[in-house]
């Protein structure tokens, strides 16, 4: 437990940031699951619309440093390839 006033404040800030970051990561995971479900159902229109919002969310989290930039790029790339594969068939 922090004894210094500034350390206590920093701890409160850490807890708020941690809650916000975990909520955003959870929202990202949910969006990815919905997109993967649309891909599995081979629904190209739904997948295309979900891809746009999901990639936007993933890129935003990568820019903010909530997930690593390369991880976000890799995720977006793989999801885009999967959506393009069902769009062609």
Can you give the pLDDT at residue 66?
A: 97
In a domain, 16, yes or no: no
- Structurally, the chain folds into a number of domains equal to 1
> What angle do the packed helices 44-64 and 69-88 form, to 10 degrees?
170
Say if residue 88's pLDDT is above 90. Answer: no
Q: 16-70, pLDDT tens digit by residue?
A: 999 999 999 999 999 999 999 999 999 999 999 999 999 999 999 999 999 999 9
Q: pTM of the prediction? A: 0.88
Q: 70-80, pLDDT tens digit by residue?
A: 999 999 999 99
In a domain, 8, yes or no: no
Say if residue 89's pLDDT is above 90. Answer: no
In a domain, 5, yes or no: no
In a domain, 33, yes or no: yes
In a domain, 15, yes or no: no
In a domain, 72, yes or no: yes
Can you give the pLDDT at residue 22?
A: 98
Can you give the pLDDT at residue 1?
A: 80
């Amino acid at each position: 437990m922090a004894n210094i006033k500034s350390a206590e404040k920093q701890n409160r800030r850490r807890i708020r940031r941690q809650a916000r970051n975990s909520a955003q990561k959870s929202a990202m995971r949910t969006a990815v699951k919905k997109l993967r479900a649309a891909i599995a159902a081979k629904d190209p229109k739904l997948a295309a619309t979900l891809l746009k919002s999901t990639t936007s969310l993933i890129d935003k989290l990568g820019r903010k440093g909530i997930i690593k930039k390369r991880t976000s790029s890799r995720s977006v790339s793989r999801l885009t390839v999967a959506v393009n594969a069902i769009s062609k068939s």
